[in-house]
Amino acid sequence: MSTAEHEDADRRPIAKGWCPGAYRPMRSGDGLIVRVRPRLGRLTLAQALGLCEAARRFGSGIIELTNRANLQLRGVRESQHLKLVAALAELGLLDDDPSLEQRRNIVVPPLWRPGDDTERLANELAARLGELPPLPAKFGFAVDAGPAPVLVFTSADVRIERGRGGGLIVRADGARDGVSVDPSTAIDVVIALASWFATTGGGTRMKAHLAQHALPAALAPTTAPAPQAALPLPGPTLLGPAYYVAFGQMAAVSLEQLLQDCAADALRVAPRRAIILENASWAASSEFITAHDDPLLNVDACPGAPACASATVETRLLARGLAPLLAGTARLGGPRTLHISGCAKGCARAQAADLTLVGRDGSFDIVRVGTAWDRPSCMGVAPRALASIIGTD
C-alpha cells in the first residue's frame, strides 16, 4: 500500500467493529438487523422458504444480500429476536455455539460442485474454526479453489486460490502471491497465517497489517494466483439461472414467488448480491435484475435514511433514477460505476467507484474515482442537481 493509499484508508470513518450475526444483531433505524451465514452459500428449498417466512413473521419482510454472500433480515422487532433465533436454528441455519457462528466468515464461489476442492476445504475450515486464535470480528476467509479465482474483489483476509501452475495456494490478502499447498495442508497454512496475524499484533484486517509487517519465511509467498475469472452474470449458469438483486434488497414475498415460478431445488447466494437457483427453469421477473446490461448492476447504494440512523439522505430511489443516466454517460466515456452512500462510512462499497455521491446534512458531496471517505471535488450539492452533474460528467 502506498503512503497516499494508507492515508486515504486512515480517513475512513470508524464503522462498527463487528458485523451483525443471528445471536448478536445490530440496531438500525428500522429495527434489528439479523445476519444469516449459509454454509457454502447454499440453502435448501425448505430453508429458503423458511427464511422468507421468518422475515415476514418476525421482521419487516425485507431480506438483504451482502457483498460476502450472506443474508440479512431487516426490521426485526426486539421482542421477536429470540423467537427468530429459534426458528433459524430449527431450519438448520445456525451453529449451536454462538462464538463459532460469529466467526464463520467463509465465502465461496457460487458454482462449486459437490466433492470439489472448494466444498471439501470450506467444510474442513468450518470444522476447525475452534483452532483459530482470537481474531477481529470482521476477519474473513475466501475458499476460492475453482479453476480460477473469482473472489478477488470480495472482502477476505486469507484466501485459498488456484495458483498459476494449477495447484492450490494460500494467499494473505494484500500479498501479490501465495504459499503453494496441497489439499491436505491448505487449512494448516490458513490457521498458521491467522495465528501469525494475531501474534504480531494484527489490527482489524490483514491487508493493512501486511503494509507494516513482512510475512515470516515459512509463510513467504512464492506462487502467483491464476488469472482472475468473472462471477456469473444474470442468465443461465451450469447450475441454474442467476438473478441479481438491486442494492441487495428484496421482499421475502418476491423471493418466494421466484422460487416457485422457477421450480428451484435450492438457492445459492453469490457475491455482488446475486442468487442462483439450482436445477431451475428461467422465469421472467420485474423484481430482480435479469439482463446482463442493466445499469443497476453498476450502482451501489446503502439503505440510506430513514432505515439507517447514520444517513441524512435517501439513497435507493435516487439510485434508480440516476442509473439510466449512468448508462448513457458510460457509452460516451463517462463514469461506468456509481456509489450512493448515505454517509462517509461507505458501507455499500469499499472499492473506488467512478462517481461517488456522499450524503451530508441532507445534500451530497461528489467524489470522482474514489471512495465515500475520500476528499470530494464538490460539496453540498442538492439532490435535484445530481442528474445534471452526471449527465455532463
Backbone angles phi, psi at 123, to 5 degrees: -65, -40
Measured distance CA(37)–CA(275) in Å, rounded: 14
Distance CA 315, CA 302 (A): 7
Could you state, in order of their start, the residue ranges of all structural domains in the chain?
A: 13-100+232-290, 112-219, 295-392
Answer for the pair 51, 43: CB distance below 8 angstroms, yes or no. Answer: yes
Class of the CATH-defined domain 295-392? alpha beta
What's the rounded Cα separation, in Å, for the pair 110 and 49? 20
Distance from C-alpha of 106 to C-alpha of 143, rounded to nearest angstrom: 7
Per-residue pLDDT at 392: 60
Query: Do 13-100+232-290 and 295-392 fold alike per CATH?
Result: no
Apex CA 25: angle with CA 44 and CA 74, to 5°? 65
Contact of 341 with 348, CB cutoff 8 Å: yes
Angle, CA 336 vertex, CA 229 and CA 321 arms, to 5°: 125
Residues in the chain: 393
Give me the amino acid identity at 55: A
Q: What DSSP character marks residue 263?
A: T
3-state secondary structure 131-187: HCCCCCCCCCEEEECCCCCCCCCCCCCEEEEEECCCCEEEEECCCCCEEEECCCCHH
User: Cβ contacts of residue 143 below 8 Å, gap of 6+?
Assistant: 106, 107, 108, 118, 121, 122, 125, 160
Alpha-carbon distance 352 to 354, whole Å? Answer: 7
- Consecutive 10-residue runs of the chain (393 residues): their mean pLDDT? 38 58 87 95 98 97 94 95 96 90 93 97 97 93 97 95 96 96 97 97 92 94 95 96 96 98 97 96 96 93 90 94 79 77 92 94 95 94 89 61
Say if residues 39 and 101 touch (Cβ distance below 8 Å).
no
The Cα 62–Cα 307 span in angstroms is 12
Its pTM surpasses 0.85: yes
- What totals of helices (H) and strands (E) does the chain contain, helices first? 10, 20
Distance CA 325, CA 311 (A): 24
- CB distance 63 to 52 below 8 Å: yes
Strand partners, 62: 251
Fold classification of 13-100+232-290 (topology level): Sulfite Reductase Hemoprotein; domain 2 (3.90.480)
pLDDT at 274: 96
Q: H helices of the chain, where?
A: 3-10, 45-58, 81-90, 98-103, 117-127, 186-199, 206-210, 252-262, 316-331, 386-392
CA distance 167 to 154: 21
